[in-house]
Structure 1
Amino acid sequence: MARMGVTEVDENLLKFKALEELTLSANRIITVNSKNLPTSLKVLELCANQISDISALCVRPPPLIHLGLGSNKISFIGDYLTGDYWKK
């Protein structure tokens, strides 16, 4: 769903219980809440959006092996990218 004008990732995504890869690059997403992501997700590509805050993404995230956040406007990372938030 790259370049489709997507602005949010809502709870409807949870319908896809076996979803393992999701590419939402080059859209207009500002934030992603991990509660709206299927627990089966392994790859999440969010490059080239308008994400500035990743805190909602880091609360009980799915067990990702890849998280693409390049070319966003992230202003604060803090310790959100440590093992405290991203368990194996």
Structure 2
Amino acid sequence: MATPHVPWQHFGIVHGGSGTGAVTYSAGTSTGCSVTGSTLSVTDASGTCSVSATRAADNNYNAATSAEIAVTLTTTDQAA
């Protein structure tokens, strides 16, 4: 069975701000999800999932990390 993937633009974690630094995402110590690039993957719907985003420093602004956002994981019926 394929692992479901959710594009980040659906979460709207990082928008705006004046910095030009690259944005990276992290699932930290989550047990039910992982992040690769800008894609959040559910790995175990019975686990936990919290994500954060970090904008790297640039010439004018220090690096900044968002607060962790809790993502609720649930199971669903398999497609027929």
- Common fold: TM-score over 0.5: no
Higher relative strand content: 2
**TM-score w.r.t. structure 2 length?**
0.21
Higher relative helix content: 1
Larger radius of gyration: 2
